[in-house]
Amino acid sequence: MPRPRSLSHDDLAAAALAVIDRDGLAALSMRAVAVELGMGTMSLYRYVSDREQLEGLVVERVLAGVDVSPPPGSWTDQVTALVERVRAAVRVHPEVVPLTMTHRHTSAALLRWTEAILGVLAGAGFTGRRRVLALRALLGHLVGSLQLEHLGPLSGAGTGIMAGLPREEFPLLAETAREAREVPPGEEFGQGLAVLLAGLRTFLAMDEG
């Protein structure tokens, strides 16, 4: 009789990620991953306790290779580089985006990245509540942009429908949608981040009182 197959956590993460990429996050289950690996569901419990642990392994697989070393330059250049690195890693697997938030407190990769971002913000002079708000604003842009690109891209059918709305009723929406169809995802993300960073510079310069 053959010996039971030995699997690493990375093997499990790869199988779970394959399920998510192919069938969506809602399809992720212990059974689905077991089928992907060609094994019985109960055998999978030898390696992980539940779906939540599988999710954590997926997040680590997607983000483990992200460089968290801030490059030379201004604090805004450093933040831009760190944020864009995570975007590059996650946008290849857009269904994983929600997991980056639900596992932000347990993922070693995300904790290292967050510490790097906070180090840059602290070095720029953000303290206390301002540092909290700056971090949350950056996370909001990152996660929101990834979700928008996946679920409602500017190049998608929804934008085309809005571009064709009656101009007498929706003049600004129709005009903006027509323009939006020409904006590539990289520009949408990068320019949005630039606007946010400009606001954070103003926020940093404001009187604490």
Alpha-carbon dihedral 78, 82, 84, 90, rounded to 10 degrees? 180
| Domain assignment present for 45 | yes
136 with 79, same domain?
Answer: yes
| Domain assignment present for 4 | no
pLDDT (0 to 100) of residue 94: 94
- pLDDT, the chain, mean: 94
pLDDT (0 to 100) of residue 1: 27
**For 32-45, how does the pLDDT look when each residue is reduced to its tens digit (9 = 90+)?**
999 999 999 999 99
113 with 193, same domain?
Answer: yes
State which H helix or E strand residue 38 sits in.
none
Task: Give the CATH number, domain containing residue 32.
Answer: 1.10.10.60
Domain that holds residue 43: 9-62
| Domain assignment present for 112 | yes
Q: What whole-number distance in Å separates Cα of residue 58 and Cα of residue 103? A: 10
Per-position DSSP letters for 49-99, written without gaps between them: SSHHHHHHHHHHHHHTT---PPPSS-HHHHHHHHHHHHHHHHTTSGGGHHH
First to last CA, the chain: 74
Q: Over 70: is that where the pLDDT of 208 sits?
A: no
Q: What whole-number distance in Å separates Cα of residue 93 and Cα of residue 21? A: 6
| Domain assignment present for 2 | no
**For 3-32, how does the pLDDT look when each residue is reduced to its tens digit (9 = 90+)?**
346 899 999 999 999 999 999 999 999 999
21 with 90, same domain?
Answer: no
Tell me the pTM.
0.91
**For 157-204, how does the pLDDT look when each residue is reduced to its tens digit (9 = 90+)?**
999 999 999 999 999 999 999 999 999 999 999 999 999 999 999 999
56 with 100, same domain?
Answer: no
Average pLDDT over residues 93-122: 96
Q: Over 50: is that where the pLDDT of 59 sits?
A: yes
Q: What whole-number distance in Å separates Cα of residue 51 and Cα of residue 25? A: 11
Task: Give the CATH number, domain containing residue 201.
Answer: 1.10.357.10
32 with 114, same domain?
Answer: no
70 with 154, same domain?
Answer: yes
48 with 111, same domain?
Answer: no
177 with 105, same domain?
Answer: yes
